[in-house]
Amino acid sequence: MKKIKCLLIDDEPPAVELLKKYASMIEQLEVVGTSHNALKAFDMLKDKEVDLIFLDIQMPILSGIDFVKTLKDPPAVIFTTAHREYALEGYELDVVDYLLKPIAFDRFLKAVDKYRNRITTLSSTSNFSKEAPKDDFIFFNVNKTNHKVFFKDILFVESLKDYVRIHTTEKKLVVKGNLSTCMKQLSDEQFIRIHRSYAIALQHIQSYNQSEVTIHTISLPVGMSYRDAFLKRIQK
């Protein structure tokens, strides 16, 4: 069973400890980081693979709502707050759930189940096949039309929340699904994930260092949690 990688953000240490305790009681949850302010969380998201954020709304300097609005491709979010009046704005941001403090464990568990159901629904409606590639091309379904794309023409794949953007040498295709599902359809010999939001074609790398890769003049970040695997692979 794939772990759900969680980030806990709350300016009150007791609130973080309670969320950690609850998360430890659910085997599928893995806490990959905690933060007492949104600014620190920015850096953590750059370096860690995060599926789900438990995020307090009222925090100093930058509120949870403003934090989500600044993210280009945010992970799924469950808001935690003592103030009921923020619920409407939270749902307008397409958050998974809204937990009102003090948070009971059964309510926490219900929120996690909502996230699981969302992922299951997304996987079942994804426009990717569940089978591994057998040919040197793949068909991507865009607006009910299947587009044939050769693996050799794919430059990189970019995560867009519930969609992915396929960047090729000739065009860009936006396909419903997630990056993890898309990676299962691409050749392991030709592609590698370098960031929670990016996977690249090894043959199109023009230059690289420990923090970024250049693909056809486009610079992409290398996430810290992907760095060792990427450098080991590229140095072969």
Confidence of residue 127 (pLDDT cuts 50, 70, 90): low
Final residue before a domain boundary, out of 98, 124, 150:
124
Q: Are residues 192 and 142 in the same domain?
A: yes
Q: Are residues 50 and 78 in the same domain?
A: yes
In a domain, 25, yes or no: yes
Q: Are residues 177 and 109 in the same domain?
A: no
pLDDT in tens, 205-232: 999 998 999 998 899 999 887 888 899 8
In a domain, 112, yes or no: yes
83: Cβ–Cβ under 8 A, 6 or more apart, which residues? 57, 58
CA dist 159 and 54 (Å) reads 21
CA dist 41 and 55 (Å) reads 10
- pLDDT recorded at residue 123: 56
Q: State the average pLDDT over residues 10-19.
A: 95
pLDDT of 135 above 70: no
Q: Are residues 213 and 109 in the same domain?
A: no
Confidence of residue 88 (pLDDT cuts 50, 70, 90): low
Q: Are residues 151 and 199 in the same domain?
A: yes
Which residue has better confidence, 47 or 116? Answer: 116
- pLDDT recorded at residue 201: 94
In a domain, 131, yes or no: no
Q: Are residues 117 and 13 in the same domain?
A: yes
Q: Are residues 8 and 84 in the same domain?
A: yes
Final residue before a domain boundary, out of 124, 145, 163:
124
Q: Determine the Cα angle at 171 with ends 165 and 172, to 5°.
A: 15
Confidence of residue 81 (pLDDT cuts 50, 70, 90): confident
Q: Are residues 94 and 145 in the same domain?
A: no
CA dist 57 and 50 (Å) reads 19
pLDDT of 186 above 60: yes
- pLDDT recorded at residue 53: 95
| Host H or E run for residue 214 | strand 212-215
- pLDDT recorded at residue 205: 95
Confidence of residue 48 (pLDDT cuts 50, 70, 90): confident
Final residue before a domain boundary, out of 124, 159, 182:
124
In a domain, 66, yes or no: yes
In the numeric block, the tokens 């989500």 are attached to 68
CA dist 93 and 235 (Å) reads 41
Q: What is the pTM of this model?
A: 0.59
CA dist 234 and 194 (Å) reads 11
CA dist 97 and 159 (Å) reads 22
Confidence of residue 139 (pLDDT cuts 50, 70, 90): confident
What's the domain range around 56? 4-124
| Contact of 9 with 57, CB cutoff 8 Å | no
In a domain, 155, yes or no: yes
CA dist 72 and 70 (Å) reads 6
CATH number reported for the structural domain that contains residue 8 in this entry:
3.40.50.2300
CA 175 to chain centre: 16
In a domain, 70, yes or no: yes
In a domain, 129, yes or no: no
In a domain, 171, yes or no: yes
CA distances to 27, 93, 124, 234 from 69, rounded to whole Å, are 30, 8, 28, 35
Confidence of residue 3 (pLDDT cuts 50, 70, 90): confident
Q: State the average pLDDT over residues 170-189.
A: 85
Q: How many domains does the chain have?
A: 2
Q: Are residues 19 and 118 in the same domain?
A: yes
CATH number reported for the structural domain that contains residue 189 in this entry:
2.40.50.1020
Q: Are residues 97 and 191 in the same domain?
A: no
Q: Are residues 66 and 168 in the same domain?
A: no
Mean pLDDT of the chain: 86
pLDDT of 125 above 90: no
- pLDDT recorded at residue 71: 83
Confidence of residue 172 (pLDDT cuts 50, 70, 90): very high
Q: Are residues 18 and 77 in the same domain?
A: yes
